[in-house]
Structure 1
């Protein structure tokens, strides 16, 4: 009886270990992509105004960087989402060379490889000023990177900007 219980315990432990080592997690997925969230200006400088003319939604942005040393990545089909599902999908070819970046901003404009910018074509703010989650999702649906933040824990200097991945 004792041998049988020990064998069951070993089998359960091995199954649990296998599940833990093979189950995908947001943290593991974060490092499976050359594209990562470099930083976020989650609180635009000044008083928030989401007016399309004269507002400051363009001053709120997320920076996505290609951390690969050798591979160019096309952003077409990548999605940026917040915690409640507000999303932006890169619809055009937008190539990031190794070490290159793009800033996804609020307000209206076009994607520009030359200026490293894309606009959400929406004057509403995407990121909450107190806490939110930023998700970068590959065209197939897998996570490329994700970060949750709170103003009190992650923005020590209070300037509304948080850096990830250096």
Structure 2
């Protein structure tokens, strides 16, 4: 576990049963360390795959219950003008890249396949939902990147936020 609210144990915000990672957080939780100004989160950083060049891909099957909104569920960490290059969020049943554009609607309570491809050499990112290209654009620069998934509180959050993940893969071209 990479980031977890500092005052609770891992089993109070994370479970792994039958190949499914379940991560949850409450909007009233504390940050991952005392004195941090970040919002509550429970995330897994995929270690051993940090990169600064080449083309990298995250693939995973995600699930978001209908009570969850105002949360990042996956990100490419590392950028020049902000901490991330890409952030897949959930707002009112839609997947978005940051606040917009909408990548997919009506995603609550069903599994979807998320593929994020980052060509660090060309400075380009692509987001696929269930095999369909939903976004292509520039990254935010930066010299070092890695993938994270879980729940990280964002704008206008629900009290309880959850995502589930299975079949996580990281690939390099």
Bin the TM-score by the shorter chain: 0.3 to 0.5
Q: Greater strand share, 1 or 2?
A: 2
Q: Greater helix share, 1 or 2?
A: 1
TM-score (normalised: structure 1) = 0.37
